[in-house]
Amino acid sequence: MSPARGGRRRLVLYTDGASRGNPGPSGAGVSILDASGEIVAEVVRYLGEATNNVAEYSALVAGLERACELGATDVQVRSDSELLVRQMRGEYRVRNAALRTLASRAHKLGESFEHVEYTHVRREQNREADRLANLAIDRAESA
């Protein structure tokens, strides 16, 4: 897919992680939309045993990786995890070692884009990413 006019391609990533048991079987889901609001890609990834916060960060990393593959220049990440959004904005420190590794990876991926913005959204606005994260778990449990 080619970038939008002017060589720019803006994508919106709705990311979510799910964990049944916290820790427990976990999944990452990402719905990626173009500037017109059309879904251009989805990520459904089973993570194995993980905490909900690890699942949230894993979804973020997976979404940023996919946005790179799609040639994005500008990315707006929307997540219902206030912790993730505030940590990625630098408002909160990342204290957990596992999350620090994932946050570092996400920051490094963010350098691939001209602009990255993190926005907290209500759970109702993130239903599709939540569905995808739970789908990953459902698929693994039925396999």
Our count of domains for the chain comes to: 1
From the number of C-beta atoms within 10 Å of its C-beta (0-12, 13-18, 19+), residue 52 rates as: buried
Kindly state whether residue 123 falls inside one of the protein's structural domains.
Answer: yes
Kindly state whether residue 2 falls inside one of the protein's structural domains.
Answer: no
SS3 content of the chain, % helix, strand, coil (to 5): 45, 30, 25
Helix (H, G, I), strand (E, B) or coil at 64: helix
Domain that holds residue 55: 10-138
Kindly state whether residue 1 falls inside one of the protein's structural domains.
Answer: no
110 Cβ contact partners less than 8 Å away, ≥ 6 residues apart: 64, 75, 116
- Residue 16 token pair: 């979510």
Helix (H, G, I), strand (E, B) or coil at 88: helix
Kindly state whether residue 50 falls inside one of the protein's structural domains.
Answer: yes
Check residue 88 and give its pLDDT. 98
pTM across the whole model: 0.95
* CA 124 and chain centroid, separation: 16
pLDDT per residue as tens digits for the range 10-55: 999 999 999 999 999 999 999 999 999 999 999 999 999 999 999 9
pLDDT per residue as tens digits for the range 45-75: 999 999 999 999 999 999 999 999 999 999 9
Kindly state whether residue 33 falls inside one of the protein's structural domains.
Answer: yes
Kindly state whether residue 143 falls inside one of the protein's structural domains.
Answer: no
* Domain containing residue 50: CATH number: 3.30.420.10
- φ, ψ of residue 139 in degrees (nearest 5): -60, -40
